Chain A
Amino acid sequence: MNEHPFEPEYPVDSLTAGVAGGELSGESSIVMEATTLDGVVAKKRLGPLFWICVGWLALNVLGAIFANVLPLKNPYFEDYSVVNAGPGWHHVFGTDDLGRDIFSRVVYGARVSIAAGLGSMVIGFAVGMPLGMLAAYRRGRFDGVTTTVMYVLLAFPAIIATIGVLSFWTPRNLIKIIIVIGIASIPLVYRVVRAATLAVASKDYVLAAKVQGATDRRILMKELLPNIAPVAVSFLVIGIATVITLEGALAFLGLSVNAPTPSWGNMINESRTDLAQNPWLALFPALAMCLFLLCLNFIGDRLRSHYDVAEVKL
């Protein structure tokens, strides 16, 4: 009987992972083994909180997709008669210093965050996942070379590099941000996928498939892929959370999408100048972002313990 929702592993802070990460992953498997002995027998139910989180994320995503169709106020409309109004009947979350409706800006702002999170993870997985699987399956020289290259990239301070590239690669837009963060995430996806594949590649059923004359492609797609999927999915979820955090930081520093476009980070940045008069301006986008991140982290964490990802050391 154990309902501890918070597994002792902390999400590998994907975009900041550096040199030491690789050596240390050995430790965490020992840790996880010990905690499983401790009585954490993965329960086959994900629990209501998990589904509440999924529901919240779905609501956010749907809101972002259908923002145009929903009966929302125009997020760009400046109504100078209600500047810096607190929450009220006409403006549920109040208005900003230009009289724009904060609620609809928060809903529209989700678009940037979600697009950045999903987009860069698509790039990271599209490149990192096949490379990681192939490297772990083939081993040998291919594995040696790719792993070394990825190690060098991993040691590269990704956050600073991202800031650097976005400083120079003007004019900035969402696509460029997605590309830069996506590339930065490739070595992390690679590392996780490779470790996961290594753990299953030596299993008997892979050998059995080989003996039966299955092609490499078939083994990779039918035997290995389904078995590393849980690891990949939980890493994907936590990766999206990390990217959203990073995009927010970039927006806060003025390195993300340009001013009139609402994004959660942008809105927090804009609130900077009149924090004293209108704290609502910072509160609602911050709340939206934190809840979204919390749900993502929770789902990622839950999935990981549910599928007992421990042994492949995330």
Chain B
Amino acid sequence: MLRYTLRRLALLVGIVFVISVGSFFLIHLLPGDPAVVILGFGASPAAKAQLYAFMGLDKPLIVQYFIWLGHVLHGNLGTSFISQVPVSTTIGAAWLIDLEMIVLSQILAFVTAIPLAMRSARKPDGAFDRILGAGSFTLLAIPSYIIIVFLVIVVSEHLGVPNTGPSSYVPFTTNPAVNLTSMLLPSITLAAGSFVVYYRVLRSDLVATLQEEFITMARSKGISQRRIMWRHAFRPSSVALLGATSVNIGGLLAGGFVVQYLLAIPGLGYELIVQGLEKSDYLLVQGIVFTVSVAIVVISFVFDFIINLVDPRINRE
């Protein structure tokens, strides 16, 4: 276990290193002098000097990277030349919204996917299983940006449910009730994508587990169906579910970007697209891309660890 964890940790450090190199070089993909592109024409010499000092632009590339890395390790991702706000401050204010969105959507997805998968797996190829199989397969072909557009058309435009449309976001601390209503459509959208995956993965694993001998054994002892499902079959079948959750996180964050963009919810995605890209605030984009990538990798690492606890057979490769 310890060796396995250490090996994964080494891999994690390696990946974070690759991410940092990648994020650093993003700036150099810009056509022309980064300082001119970032600051715009007619920037003051003082601003230019500040940017040169921050990124070491007059030094060789390798040195630039280490200068940048040094700043990043101190939590300094640069200061936006458009809003004059440090990038880390913007990220600090925005990430909780993404977290709330993801947590709500995952609760929704698990609460629906687990019982439905259990019901399906009890009679594979039964009517219930087939209908849900076809339904989830169809849902698989509907991307999140289509789901959210139609939820907005139906729920906030036609049904007129208040506080669900664009720009209706209110921070949780200001008004929890309105905040949760405004999070309704985003969480349903993100949950829909996760639900399909979780349902299908858990169902197929449960079908397999239920044919194992220890289940037959439990059945012959007269243990109730409910108890067999929850106590005996669920844990061995939940490994792939956890794996799917871990794999899903990148997709969830990106899906969240789309939703935030449409509804003007000031999370990381909104900051990235509307404040960063549309205003050419490249330091903000770089900071968010770097932070989010590292977060995803770290979360996957934690999930791997949890999966190991649930099923210790895995690290024996």
Residues of chain A having any CB pair with chain B under 8 Å: 2, 4-6, 8-11, 13, 16-21, 23-24, 27-28, 30-31, 33-35, 37-38, 151-152, 155-161, 163-165, 167-170, 241, 245, 248-249, 252-255, 265, 268, 271-272, 275-276, 279, 282, 286, 289-291, 293-294, 296-298, 301
Min CB–CB distance A184 → chain B (angstroms): 11
Whether A275 lies near B157 (C-beta < 8 A) is yes
Residue of A27, A245, A276, A290 contacting most chain B CB atoms (<10 Å): A27
Whether A11 lies near B11 (C-beta < 8 A) is no
Q: Which residue of B136, B250, B258 is within 8 Å of A157 (Cβ)? A: B250
Whether A159 lies near B272 (C-beta < 8 A) is no
Min CB–CB distance A291 → chain B (angstroms): 8
Min CB–CB distance A200 → chain B (angstroms): 22
Min CB–CB distance A294 → chain B (angstroms): 4
> Could you jot down 26 A-B contacts, CB within 8 Å?
A2-B125, A10-B244, A18-B246, A20-B304, A20-B307, A24-B240, A27-B205, A28-B204, A34-B208, A35-B204, A151-B11, A156-B22, A156-B297, A160-B250, A163-B254, A164-B293, A167-B289, A168-B26, A168-B286, A170-B31, A241-B141, A248-B143, A254-B277, A254-B278, A275-B157, A290-B142
Whether B133 lies near A168 (C-beta < 8 A) is no
- Chain B residues lying within 8 Å of A276, measured Cβ to Cβ, are 153, 157
- Chain A residues lying within 8 Å of B85, measured Cβ to Cβ, are none
Min CB–CB distance B242 → chain A (angstroms): 8
Say which one of B53-61, B98-106, B195-203, B220-228 lies at the interface with A. B195-203
Residues of chain B having any CB pair with chain A under 8 Å: 11, 14-15, 18-19, 22-23, 26-27, 29-31, 124-125, 130, 133-134, 136-138, 140-146, 149-150, 152-153, 157, 196-197, 200-201, 203-205, 207-208, 211, 239-240, 242-244, 246-251, 253-255, 257-258, 261-262, 272-273, 276-278, 282, 285-286, 289, 292-293, 296-297, 300-301, 303-304, 307, 314
Whether B250 lies near A152 (C-beta < 8 A) is no
